[in-house]
A = this chain, B = another copy of it.
Amino acid sequence: MSEKPPDFTKPYSTVDLVIFTVRDDALSVLLVQRANAPDEPYPLRWALPGGYIDVDRDFDLLDCAKRKLKEKTSLVSPYLEQLGSFGDRERDPRGWSITQVYFALVPSSEIRLQAGANAIDARWFEIGSGETKVRERLAFDHERILTAAIERLRSKVEYTSLPAYLLPEEFTLSELQHIFEIVLARRLDKSGFRTRVLDAGLITKVPRVRRATNRPAQLYRLKDRSAPLVFPRTLGAKN
């Protein structure tokens, strides 16, 4: 039962990102296409954005995730949370590897996609409701990771106000409800939704309204955009 010394074989360590947004009324995830190089595994396959930890530039894991997020989306401070890590002997043909997975929620406006170093293209893919979440076979074990991320997102939406991070800074209650409905894939009752969200005290009015061809709607914003998460009560109504 001897410990391996620290300079024994180390696993590869990467950080990958599951970046969600809602566009065209559909939950979508950002994928990048891998380069077509002979020494790169899974050439031309679509994959979650990410890459190796740079021990010289990154101070910690979150730093590394933020850096990669910025490289892909040029966003600086969206919602970012650790999903978990996935590591085994077979997921990468180059050897024992571990990926630290973070998931991010970003507003679909405010985004300019950029292809990264190892990626020749970057695109949004809609999340389907079936067993296979995306109409592509992904590289590595990324399908499993994506599935886990979706599950986490859906379950957290039941008791937090996470979807607010999918909207621009200011939004109306109707817009917020709409985005909840998209993520949860079911209708919600208007009255119940409003009281739950407002009673929870997570959002505050801003002294402005959104005008259209009807009654103007009060604008709100998150009370504390940096706060990791929060919890109204249970949610539930099916309308």
Asked if A95 lies at the interface with its beta carbon under 8 angstroms from chain B, I say yes
B117, A2: Cβ atoms under 8 Å? yes
Which of B52, B55, B71, B84 contacts A1 (CB under 8 A)?
Answer: B71
Distance, CA A16 to CA B61, complexed state (A): 17
- Does A234 belong to the interface (CB within 8 Å)? yes
A13 is contacted by which of B2, B13, B234 (Cβ under 8 Å)?
A: B13
Given the complex, which residues of B lie within 8 Å of A234, measured CB to CB?
234
Chain B proximity of A40: nearest CB distance (Å): 10
Return chain B residues, CB-CB under 8 Å to A195.
none
Chain B residues with CB below 8 A from A168, complex form: none
Q: A2-B117, A3-B118 are in contact. Are A11 and B60 (CB under 8 A)?
A: no
Q: Are A55 and B96 in contact (CB under 8 A)?
A: yes
- Residue on B nearest A85 in the bound complex, by CB: B85
Distance (whole angstroms) from the CB of A60 to the closest CB of chain B: 3
How far does the Cβ of A93 sit from chain B's closest Cβ, in whole Å?
11
- A9 in contact with B55 given A1-B116, A3-B117 (CB within 8 Å): yes
Looking at the assembled complex, report how far the CB atom of A103 sits from the nearest CB atom of chain B, in whole angstroms: 13
Whether a CB of chain B sits under 8 angstroms from the CB of A10 is yes
A78 at the interface (CB under 8 A from B): no
Contact with B along A117-147 (1 / 0, CB 8 A): 1100000000000000000000000000000
Determine whether the beta carbon of A4 is less than 8 Å from that of B61.
no
The proximity string for A residues 86-98 relative to B, scoring 1 for CB distances below 8 Å and 0 otherwise, is 1111000011101
A53 at the interface (CB under 8 A from B): yes
